A and B are shown apart, each in its own frame.
Chain A
């Protein structure tokens, strides 16, 4: 115990409110967009590739946007979240109320989500972009598997690297994130004083539950879409062909510099064999 109140203690109110807010904006909002984008693989590989090109049209700004609006807020939310979890003492064993179970699950899913996101970002993105890290460490360890300009095919191959293991891990991770967001929006409404009366809280609860179910379906569809491509030789090849055509078009129009864009493509023309 410190005698002088720490920084965290002196600004506890502000930090907790920022923690609450950051869960929705930008982290939660980003997650919704992310899951929706991923679900577009179900439409076609081209739709997904188009969405990814759009995101990557930010060019050199993309890493800045990623860090400022995604990674740093997630790390902040996670670190303060761990501090909060350490300050509580779940007691569902003695007080078996639904809301108490949700309190406990909110903490459990938060921890799962954090581990999952760290692993997921490593698996797909490799954490850092610079070449030595990517090629020397991330890729040999099975990370940095996603190639933005071979979006659907590399996603599918990455998802099926270990048979059904990764789809299962992704499903657990995505469902944890979705629960954490939907339940978090509900508690956030109480924390900020948006829904006050028990009737209003009940109503908000139903809306949050419906939102959670829809988002869970969207999230699982994304995983399903990736599995569909990665698990099927022909669909994988089709995806590659479409990506090739789109790449050629981008080069032809001068929208992408082939030199610069190369590191966003799968290593060789067929670096990852589809799992057959």
Chain B
């Protein structure tokens, strides 16, 4: 069907895209308008491709192409996450016709607000990866000899674990979380890259780890082999910036594109840390 209408809604010939741009870290951001010709089945990534090809604002000014990130184009890598019409989501599955149903005149694109901007719509999400490191979101099996096959997992256990394993570290849950606030440092002139990294890690480690890492800790603590290091993960969850910072707004679970039961994970981790804290108190 060549009809461009959706639900009987007549799509416009073209529409405007308002983009919050920024040349680089620490620079001022500014809004810029682009006009894009409407095509069939567009998503925000194809819109950004047209904008890059055209590289001209609505007033005909030539500008550097807008920078963005993407990989899989099917909502499994999380790289294209940005704020579309005020809501955090993946650009690759943000369909233009759907967006124009809400507002037929324009689409608004912003980089995520909780991570440092690298350029335009690209952000540095390394804090999230640092959080995953902090809670040791893996099963420790490295060694010098073959440890043989791991224990079998029951069907029930698999069914609980699978949804949690779908997390693609997109950061939507963090972007929408009122307790997760931006941490952005700038490298000092006399500071080496290694020192800067160290300072960033320290800052990340003392700030909220967020729902994604809490849920991953719960996932690996439920794994038969991962359980061996459950105590270390719980210690990490109780560290500064740990689970206690959660304010139970439950935005995370509402925006997660993978519909991961994040608040269930948070409550599970809450229970586990409660017990862990009491045990530690008496074992001292």
Contact = CB atoms under 8 A, between A and B. Distances in A.
Nearest to B203: A1
B219 to A, nearest CB: 15
The B interface, classified by DSSP as helix, strand, loop or mixed, is helix
B244 A13 contact: yes
B267 A87 contact: no
Contacts of B87: 94-95
Interface string B265-283: 0111111111001000000
Contact of A91 (B178, B267, B269, B274): B178
Nearest to A106: B247
A99 B251 contact: yes
Interface residues of B, number: 37
B267 A193 contact: yes
Interface in A180-210: 187, 190-198, 201
B257 interface: no
Contacts of A197: 264, 267
Q: Which 6 A-B pairs have the closest CB atoms?
A: A193-B271, A103-B249, A16-B244, A193-B270, A99-B250, A187-B248
Interface string A70-102: 000000000000001001111100110101101
A165 interface: no
A194 B272 CA distance: 10
A187 B247 CA distance: 8
A10 interface: yes
A103 B246 CA distance: 11
A84 B247 CA distance: 9
Nearest to A8: B240
B23 interface: no
Contacts of A100: 178, 249-251, 254
A12 interface: yes
A17 interface: yes
B212 interface: no
Interface residues of A, number: 35
A12 B208 CA distance: 11
B244 A12 contact: yes
A99 B248 contact: yes
Contacts of A190: 248, 263, 266-267, 270
A223 to B, nearest CB: 30
Contacts of A198: 261, 263-264
Contacts of A5: 206, 240
Contact of A13 (B179, B272, B277): B277
Contacts of B167: none
Contact of A95 (B247, B251, B264): B251
Interface string B223-251: 00000000000000011111111111111
A61 interface: no
Pick from B176, B249, B271 the residue with the most CB of A within 10 Å. Answer: B249
Nearest to A84: B247
B181 interface: yes
B216 to A, nearest CB: 17
Given A12-B244, A17-B277, A97 B250 contact: yes
Nearest to A195: B267
Contact of A87 (B203, B245, B272): B245
A87 B268 contact: no
Contacts of B272: 193
Contacts of B170: none
A16 B261 contact: no
Nearest to A16: B244
Contacts of B246: 191
Given A12-B241, A95-B255, A190-B263, A196 B248 contact: no
Given A5-B240, A16-B245, A103-B247, A193 B268 contact: yes
A9 interface: yes
Nearest to B254: A97
